[in-house]
Chain A
Amino acid sequence: MKRKRKYESGAATAFITRNQALRKLQLSLKDFRQLCILKGIYPQEPKKLKQATKGSGITRTFYFVKDINYLSHEPLIVKFRQTKRFMKRLTKAVHKKNDDAVARIKASRPKYKLDHIVKERYPSFIDAVRDLDDCLTMCFLFATLPTSFSVKNRSVQLCRRLTVEFQHFVITSQALRKVFISIKGIYYQAEIMGQTITWIVPHKVGYQQPSDIDFKIMRTFVDFYTTLLGFTNFRLYHSLNLHYPPQLQLAGEKDETETKCLKSEATEERLAAMTQTLKSMVTDNVEDAEVDEFPVGNPDDPDFIEKAKLESEKLNQFQNLFKGKKFFLNREIPRESVTFIIRSFGGEVSWDKSLAVGASYQESDESITHQIVDRPAVEKQFLSRYYIQPQWIFDCVNSQMLIPVEDYFPGVELPPHLSPFVKEKEGDYVPAERKQQIRRQQGIDSGVEEDDGLMDEDDDDEDEDEEEEAVEEEDDDEEDEEEEEEEEDDSDENSDDEEEETPKMSKKAVKKPVKTPKPAKKPKDMAVTPGSVEKVNLNRKVQQQEKEEKRLAEMMIPKKKKRLYQTIVKSQTRRDTKIQQLKEKRKVINRRNKLAKAGGE
C-alpha cells in the first residue's frame, strides 16, 4: 500500500494561489483579472488554511484548482495572446511612424465575443434574469458617463441603447413595482419572470469622476454586462412578441422634417423618449386569458383560488394605476425617470416640443389631467388639471394607489418620501406617514380625494398620541430596570404609578401638584407627618419579579451559549435604542410642530 504523505491530497491540492495560477495559465495579471471577471471566477477561502498553504500559514489569495483548469480551456485566452501580439506590432509601427503599417495593423485587431460565456455562466434564462441587478445598474451608469479615454464612446452608446430597450420592455410588460428617490439615485424595482430586480439610476447631474478608479475593471464588467443585457433583452422582447431591435408603433407617421439630425439618430431619440408604444409582431392584441379554475388548490385553504383571483385583480389595478391620466412634464422635471414610471403604469406623457423629441401633445391640450411642476409657483394655470410636484408620482406607485394631490401642490412643503423597501417587523419603528400609508391601502382612510386635509392631520395626531403612550410605557419599563439595578427609589416609583393610573389627558395637570409640594416637604424640626398609603401596583410587581427571575436565570446560561446569547441581546438592545431614539425625536418634532401651529393661529 502506498504510504500517505502530507499535503498530497485534500485542501493542499484543491487550492492554488493566484501567482501559481498566473504561471499555470501563462497570463499577465491584467489578463487574468479580465478573464476572472468575464468568467465569473472569484477567489476561495480554504477552510483549512494550514492545509492549503502547505503548513506555512501565510494567507494568500486562493483559487480552486478546478476553476483554474476550467479557465485554461477558455478560447478567450488565445484571443488575449493575439491582442498582446497585436499591441506589440501596433506600438512598433507607431513608433516607427509607419502610417501605412499602423492602418493595416489596426484593421486586424483581434475581436472576441462573449456569447458563449453568457451561456456558460447562465445556462438557463432565469439565472440570467436573477443576476440582472448589477448589470442594469452598471449599464445605466455607463449610459450617462461622458466619453473619455477610459470610457469609450461605443460602450456608452451601447449601454444607452440597451437600457432604453430594457425600459421599453418594463413599460410594455408593466413589470415595475417600486420606485424610490434616494440621495444616491433613483431606485427601481421590477418583477420579471417572478424575479425581483432592483437597479439604481444616478441623478442626471454632473459627475465628479474619481481619479483613483481603475476604469479598466469597470470596462471589463460593462463588456460582459452589455452582452448579457443584449441577449436578455432579445429574449424578453420575444417573450412579449415584440420586434427586436424595437420598433415604434407609429414609426414613419411623424414628420421627420422637423428633426435636424440623422434619421437613425432620430429614431433612436424617439425610442429613448419612451412616449410611444412598441410595435408588436402579433397584430391582434389578445387579452390575457382568464385564469382557469382548478379544483386542486390548497386543501388547507379553501379560499385559495379566491385569494389568488383577488391578488391578480389587485395587481392588475396597480399596473394600470395611471391609465387614462394624461401628464405634462415641465422642463425642470427629470424627464426620463418620470416618463418611465408613468408609462409603466399606463399613463400618457408629453412635454414641451422644444425640449426634446417625442412630445406627443402640447401644454395647451385640455385633456391633460396632471401637470408635473417642480418650481415654487406656476404663472399660467389651467383649471382643468392638477399641478403637482414629481414626488406624487413616486408616492402613488409606492402606496399602489392614487393618493390625494393636496400635499403635492407646487410650493407646498412635501410630505416625507418613504422607502418602499422597508419591511416592518414587529417592534420596529414605523414612521407616522408609513402608518397613514398602510391605513390608506387598507381602505380605512379611503377618501381618495379628501377635501379636508386637516382631518387627516388630526387623525395623525391621535395616532401619534397613541404612539406616545406606547413610548411612555416602554419608558417606564426601562426605568424599572434601572431601579432594580441600582436602588429602588420609592418616590419616583410613586409618581410613576400615578402617572400610569391617571388618564392620559390630565397627565400634565397631575404632574404639577406632585411637583409643587416638594419644597414644603422639608420641615426643619423633627415631626411626625401623616404618611400616605403606599400604592402597590400588582401588575408592576409581577413584572419586576419576572424580570429579576429572568436575570437570575441568565446567570445560569452555560458558558458555551453565553456569548451567543450576549450578542443576540446586544443587537436587540442596539436596535431597541435606535427605535427609541427615533421615537423620541419624533415626539420632540411633533411637539414643536404643534407649538408652531398654535403660534401661527
Chain B
Amino acid sequence: MATVAAKRKISPVEEIDINEGVNLFVDEPPDSEDDDDTTDSDSSEYSGLEDEPDTDDDDGDEDDEEDDDDDEDAENDEDEEDEDEDESDVEDSAEETSSHSKPTNQEIVTAEPDDKEGKITQLPDEYEYDSSDEEDIRNTVGNIPMEWYRDYSHLGYDVEGKKLLKPEKGDELDEFLDKMENPDYWRTVSNKLTGQKVLLSKEDVKIIQNMQKFKNPVGSDMYEPWIDFFTNEKMIHPVSNRPETKASFIPSRWEMLKVSQMVHALKMGWMKPTPTRKPDEEDETNFYMLWKDDEEPEITRQYRQYIPPPKVRLPGHAESYNPPEEYLPSEKTVQRLKKEIARGKTRTIPQKFSSLRLVPGFKYFIRERFERCLDLYLCPRQRKVRMNVNPDDLIPKLPKPRDLQPFPTTEYLVFKGHKGIIRTISPDPKGQWIASGCDDKTVKIWEVATGRCIKTFNVESKVKGVAWNPNPSLSIIVVAVETSLIIINPHVGDKLICSKTDLLLNSFEEVELPPAPTDKPKVTEWELYEDAEYELGFRLKIKHQREISQVTWHGKGDYFASTMPKGESKSVLIHQLMKRRSQNPFSKPKGLVQCVLFHPIRPFLFVATQKYVRIYNLMKQSLSKKLLSNCQWISSMAVHPGGDNVIIGSYDSKLSWFDLDLSTKPYHTLRHHTMALRSVTYHKRYPLFASASDDLSVIVCHGMVYSDLLQNPLIVPVKVLRGHKAAKGLGVLDCQFHPSQPWIFTAGADGTIRLYT
C-alpha cells in the first residue's frame, strides 16, 4: 500500500485524474464544498473520497484501481453492501474491460452509508482492512461458475465461513410487476456472487454505453499526454534488419523490352507523340464563303418541297411596354389572364410602365424560345389553304321578299277570351268566321273582322280538333272531344244556309243496310242530340273507342276522317255525314298515326305515321306511295291545293317539302325553327305556306309551285311573325290561312288567337 501511495505522490498524471474525479463529484451532491480545497494534499484527497463513496468511480485508470477499491472496502464492510463485479451481469462486452475499469459509483439498493460517522472513524483504518489488490470479496467461493450453487439455498461463504444465503427472489409475477412499476428497472442488475440487486447510477450507465460504442469508457480523455514512440527525425539505422533484394538493383527486362518497342515504333513513325493542342485552335470556328455567287444552287432534296417554319406572330399594341390605355385589361380580365398564365395558355398581361427603365425582364422568355424550338422540330408542317370567302357569297341568291308580296306582315287582331291552351282553329270557307277549340272545354266562334266572340259551345272535355266544313253551302263544324266527334251547326252567318243545313241533317233516314256480319262490332255509334242541346246547336255525336287527336274534312264536305293514335287497326276512321256511317279503311295497324289528310282533288288519303307518310288510293284500295320524311317524329302535314306537293312539320324542328312527282324523299328541308314544329299549312290561293313552332314564331314562306313540271318549286322565307307568349312550355300550336285573303291566324298556348295581315 505504501508503494502505491508513493507512486501517487510521484506521478503528476494521477493527481490530475484525482482532481478530475473530485470535480466531477462536486457536480453531483451538494455536500462537498470542502473537497475543492482539499485537492492539494493527499490526505485531504482521501478524506474527500471517503465523504462521498459514490463518486470515486471516475478514475478508470489502472493505477488507481487499488486505491479506489480500498476506499470502497472501508465503507462497504461497515455497511455490508457489495458493489463489485456488478458489471459482469450487464453485458458481455462490458466484461472484457471490466477488469481494469471498475465502476464503483453505485447506489446500493438496500442502504446508504453513514457519511459523517465514516468521516471521523474510518480515516485511520483505511489500510488496515485492505492488504491485497484483490477485489472486495464477501463471497469467498472464488472465481468459479456460479451455477454450481444453483441448487443450493446459499451462494457461498463469507470470510468467516458462514453460509451466504441467497436473497429472497420473487416469482415471475413479482419480476413482471417490478418491471412495470419500477422506472429504474432497466438499470437494475443483480450481483452474481451475492444475488443482490444493484441499481446502476447514471455514470455507470454512461460508462457501459461508452464501452459498447468502443469509446473511452470514462468519456473522451482529450488531454492525454503525447508519447512519441516513433520520432519524426530520420534515423540512420534501418527499421528492419532485412537486406535489399537483388531485383531492386537490376533494371527490369520487361520494361526494357517495352521501351525498345516504343522506340522502334517512334522510329518507324507508327507511334506519334501526342500533339500539344492549343486551346484556341479548338474553339476557333472558321467561316468561309459557303454560298458562292456564281454557283447555281444544287438541288439537294428533290423528293420533298421545303416548307419554311411559320413566322412567329408579331406583337400588337397591347404588348407594348407603354400601350394606349384602352388596351389595358380591367381587374376582372387581369384575374382571368392570371389564371390563364397559370395554365400556360397565355404569357403576358398588358401592362403600362411609365418609363423604360422600369420594365422588368420577361419571365417566360427562355421558356417561349424553348417551346418554339420544340415546335420547330416536333411539329408536322403543312401548307394550309386559307379560305378567303366572303360570307355574303354563301347566301343563296333568292328573290327579295318585297317582290313576293302579298304575305302577312303585321299583327292585326288579337282574339282574347279563351282561358287555356288553344289547340286548334279553323276558319269557315268564306273567311268570315273562325272556330277555335281550347283546353278550357269550350269551342268559340269568332268574327274575323272584329275579333269578337260570337258563340261559345261548352263541351265535356278538352277540345283536340275543330274543323269547319269546307262546303260553303253548309254550316257545320266537327269538334273532336276526347273519344267522340261532335257535329255542331254554329248558326252564324247566313240563316238560310243554317236552316238548310239543319234540314239536310234531319232528312237522314235510316236505310236498311245490307245485313252486316254481326260478329264485327260497330266501329262507331252515331247519336242525336235532343232538346236543349239541339237548341244550342249540337247536332250529332259520333262515339269512338279511343281518344281522337285530329279531325279533317274532305274537300267536298261530305266525308271526314278522324285519327286515333292509340286505335291500332282502327286508328283512322272515315265518316260519311249524309249516310251517317263510319268505316275503317285499314285492317292492320299502320303504326302511330299522327294525322290524316284528304287529297284536295283526287281520291287519295295521306296518312302520316311517326316517320313516314303513306298515300293510299281510296278507289283502288291500295298504297300508292310512301314518303320518307327523314325526321324523327312527324307532327303535322299539309297538302298543296294543287295536290302534288306536301309539307311535313316534325317535332325535331324540321319542315320538309315533298314534291310527289319528283321523289319520295324531301325536295327541301327547312331548319328555320329552333324548336318543335306544331303545325304547317298551305294557303288555298296564294303561293304561301306557314309553320308554327314552340319557339313562339310563325314563319311564312313563299312556296311557288310552277305548272311547268320541269321547274322546281321556289321556296323563299318571307316573314317571321312573332307575338305569342310561351305558356307551359308550348308556343304556337296551330296556324291557319284565311281562305281568300293573305292573312294568317295563329293559336297559341297563351290563350290568344292572333291575326296577321
Residues of A within 8 A of B (CB): 33, 36-37, 40-45, 64, 66-67, 70, 104, 107, 111, 115, 118-120, 122-125, 127-128, 130-131, 133-134, 137-138, 141, 154, 158, 180-185, 187, 198, 202-203, 205-210, 213-214, 217-218, 221, 226-227, 230-231, 233-235, 238, 244, 332-334, 374-375, 389-391, 413-414, 416-419, 421-422, 431-434, 487, 545, 548-559, 561, 564-565, 568-569, 572, 582-583, 585-586, 589
User: In the complex, what distance in Å separates the CA atom of A578 from the CA atom of B248?
Assistant: 95
Shortest distance between the CB of B333 and any CB in chain A (Å): 10
A187 contacts which chain B residues (CB < 8 A)?
Answer: 314-315
> A552 and B365 in contact (CB under 8 A), knowing A128-B291, A187-B314, A557-B394?
no
Please list 29 pairs of residues, one from A and one from B, whose beta carbons are closer than 8 Å in the complex, sorted by A's number. A45-B380, A64-B304, A127-B306, A128-B291, A137-B369, A138-B373, A141-B365, A154-B283, A184-B362, A184-B368, A187-B315, A198-B312, A217-B377, A221-B373, A244-B287, A333-B356, A391-B356, A414-B354, A416-B324, A417-B321, A553-B396, A553-B398, A554-B395, A556-B396, A556-B398, A557-B396, A565-B395, A583-B326, A585-B325
Tell me the B701-744 residues at the A interface (CB within 8 Å).
Answer: 715-720, 722
Q: What is the count of residue pairs linking A and B with beta-carbon distances less than 8 angstroms?
A: 247
User: In the complex, what distance in Å separates the CA atom of A208 from the CA atom of B316?
Assistant: 25
Interface string of B312-329 (1 = CB under 8 A from A): 101111011111111100
> A104 and B274 in contact (CB under 8 A), knowing A184-B368, A198-B314?
yes
B400 contacts which chain A residues (CB < 8 A)?
Answer: 549
Contact between B369 and A141 (Cβ–Cβ < 8 Å)?
yes
Contact between A414 and B322 (Cβ–Cβ < 8 Å)?
yes
The yes or no answer to B298 lying at the interface (CB within 8 A) is yes
Contact between B361 and A207 (Cβ–Cβ < 8 Å)?
yes
A487 contacts which chain B residues (CB < 8 A)?
Answer: 722
The yes or no answer to B213 lying at the interface (CB within 8 A) is no
B301 contacts which chain A residues (CB < 8 A)?
Answer: 70, 120
B377 contacts which chain A residues (CB < 8 A)?
Answer: 33, 36-37, 40-42, 217
The yes or no answer to B242 lying at the interface (CB within 8 A) is no
Contact between B717 and A555 (Cβ–Cβ < 8 Å)?
yes
B372 contacts which chain A residues (CB < 8 A)?
Answer: 134, 137
Tell me the B358-389 residues at the A interface (CB within 8 Å).
Answer: 359-363, 365-370, 372-374, 376-382, 387, 389
Contact between B274 and A107 (Cβ–Cβ < 8 Å)?
yes
Q: Which of B289, B298, B309, B315 contacts A235 (CB 8 A)?
A: B289
B119 contacts which chain A residues (CB < 8 A)?
Answer: none
Top 9 nearest A-B pairs by Cβ distance?
A205-B361, A421-B314, A123-B297, A124-B297, A585-B326, A125-B291, A416-B324, A45-B380, A417-B322
B348 contacts which chain A residues (CB < 8 A)?
Answer: 183-184
User: In the complex, what distance in Å separates the CA atom of A154 from the CA atom of B280?
Assistant: 11
> A180 and B670 in contact (CB under 8 A), knowing A36-B377, A431-B324?
no
Q: Which of A66, A235, A545, A582 contacts B304 (CB 8 A)?
A: A66
A118 contacts which chain B residues (CB < 8 A)?
Answer: 290
Tell me the B670-706 residues at the A interface (CB within 8 Å).
Answer: 670-672
The yes or no answer to B355 lying at the interface (CB within 8 A) is yes
Contact between A183 and B317 (Cβ–Cβ < 8 Å)?
no
B376 contacts which chain A residues (CB < 8 A)?
Answer: 37, 42, 134, 221
Contact between A185 and B308 (Cβ–Cβ < 8 Å)?
no
Shortest distance between the CB of A183 and any CB in chain B (Å): 5
The yes or no answer to B345 lying at the interface (CB within 8 A) is no
User: In the complex, what distance in Å separates the CA atom of A125 from the CA atom of B354?
Assistant: 43
Tell me the B382-422 residues at the A interface (CB within 8 Å).
Answer: 382, 387, 389, 391, 394-396, 398, 400-402
Shortest distance between the CB of B698 and any CB in chain A (Å): 14
User: In the complex, what distance in Å separates the CA atom of A572 from the CA atom of B311?
Assistant: 24
B374 contacts which chain A residues (CB < 8 A)?
Answer: 217
User: In the complex, what distance in Å separates the CA atom of A122 from the CA atom of B687?
Assistant: 68
User: In the complex, what distance in Å separates the CA atom of A552 from the CA atom of B700?
Assistant: 10
User: In the complex, what distance in Å separates the CA atom of A582 from the CA atom of B327?
Assistant: 7
User: In the complex, what distance in Å separates the CA atom of A301 from the CA atom of B238?
Assistant: 112
Assign chain B's interface to a size class. 35 or more
B672 contacts which chain A residues (CB < 8 A)?
Answer: 555
Shortest distance between the CB of A601 and any CB in chain B (Å): 21
Shortest distance between the CB of A556 and any CB in chain B (Å): 5
Contact between A555 and B670 (Cβ–Cβ < 8 Å)?
yes
User: In the complex, what distance in Å separates the CA atom of A120 from the CA atom of B369?
Assistant: 25
Contact between A123 and B311 (Cβ–Cβ < 8 Å)?
no
Contact between B319 and A184 (Cβ–Cβ < 8 Å)?
yes
Contact between A213 and B370 (Cβ–Cβ < 8 Å)?
yes
The yes or no answer to B285 lying at the interface (CB within 8 A) is yes
The yes or no answer to B2 lying at the interface (CB within 8 A) is no
Contact between B367 and A210 (Cβ–Cβ < 8 Å)?
yes
B274 contacts which chain A residues (CB < 8 A)?
Answer: 104, 107
Contact between A389 and B320 (Cβ–Cβ < 8 Å)?
no
> A138 and B369 in contact (CB under 8 A), knowing A124-B291, A131-B308, A226-B285?
yes
User: In the complex, what distance in Å separates the CA atom of A138 from the CA atom of B365?
Assistant: 10
B268 contacts which chain A residues (CB < 8 A)?
Answer: none
Contact between B373 and A413 (Cβ–Cβ < 8 Å)?
no
User: In the complex, what distance in Å separates the CA atom of A134 from the CA atom of B320?
Assistant: 21
Residue on B nearest A197 in the bound complex, by CB: B311
The yes or no answer to B254 lying at the interface (CB within 8 A) is no
Contact between B326 and A218 (Cβ–Cβ < 8 Å)?
no
User: In the complex, what distance in Å separates the CA atom of A557 from the CA atom of B395?
Assistant: 5
A233 contacts which chain B residues (CB < 8 A)?
Answer: 287
Residues of B within 8 A of A (CB): 274, 277, 282-283, 285, 287-291, 297-301, 303-304, 306, 308-309, 311-312, 314-317, 319-327, 347-348, 350-351, 354-357, 359-363, 365-370, 372-374, 376-382, 387, 389, 391, 394-396, 398, 400-402, 670-672, 715-720, 722
> A183 and B362 in contact (CB under 8 A), knowing A45-B380, A213-B370?
yes
> A556 and B379 in contact (CB under 8 A), knowing A182-B321, A234-B287, A431-B326?
no
User: In the complex, what distance in Å separates the CA atom of A554 from the CA atom of B357?
Assistant: 54
Contact between A180 and B315 (Cβ–Cβ < 8 Å)?
yes
Contact between A568 and B389 (Cβ–Cβ < 8 Å)?
yes
> A568 and B321 in contact (CB under 8 A), knowing A390-B356, A422-B316, A582-B327?
no
User: In the complex, what distance in Å separates the CA atom of A115 from the CA atom of B291?
Assistant: 11
Given contacts A208-B361, A572-B391, 18 further A-B contacts (CB under 8 A): A42-B379, A45-B380, A124-B297, A181-B321, A213-B367, A217-B374, A221-B376, A234-B290, A389-B355, A391-B356, A417-B320, A417-B322, A418-B320, A419-B317, A421-B314, A551-B720, A565-B394, A582-B326
Contact between B319 and A207 (Cβ–Cβ < 8 Å)?
no
Contact between A218 and B285 (Cβ–Cβ < 8 Å)?
no
A390 contacts which chain B residues (CB < 8 A)?
Answer: 356
Residue on A nearest B288 in the bound complex, by CB: A234
User: In the complex, what distance in Å separates the CA atom of A141 from the CA atom of B371?
Assistant: 14
Q: Which of A137, A184, A227, A234 contacts B315 (CB 8 A)?
A: A184
Residue on A nearest B298 in the bound complex, by CB: A123
Residue on B nearest A421 in the bound complex, by CB: B314
Shortest distance between the CB of A450 and any CB in chain B (Å): 21
Residue on B nearest A178 in the bound complex, by CB: B314
Contact between B290 and A119 (Cβ–Cβ < 8 Å)?
yes
User: In the complex, what distance in Å separates the CA atom of A214 from the CA atom of B374?
Assistant: 10
> A234 and B289 in contact (CB under 8 A), knowing A70-B301, A589-B325?
yes
B379 contacts which chain A residues (CB < 8 A)?
Answer: 42-43
Contact between B322 and A568 (Cβ–Cβ < 8 Å)?
no
Contact between A414 and B382 (Cβ–Cβ < 8 Å)?
no
> A586 and B326 in contact (CB under 8 A), knowing A207-B365, A230-B285, A233-B287?
yes
B367 contacts which chain A residues (CB < 8 A)?
Answer: 210, 213
Shortest distance between the CB of B389 and any CB in chain A (Å): 7
Contact between A183 and B359 (Cβ–Cβ < 8 Å)?
yes
> A185 and B365 in contact (CB under 8 A), knowing A123-B297, A586-B326?
yes
Contact between A205 and B304 (Cβ–Cβ < 8 Å)?
no
Residue on B nearest A206 in the bound complex, by CB: B361
Shortest distance between the CB of B630 and any CB in chain A (Å): 12
Contact between B717 and A141 (Cβ–Cβ < 8 Å)?
no
Residue on A nearest B303 in the bound complex, by CB: A66
A40 contacts which chain B residues (CB < 8 A)?
Answer: 377
A43 contacts which chain B residues (CB < 8 A)?
Answer: 378-380
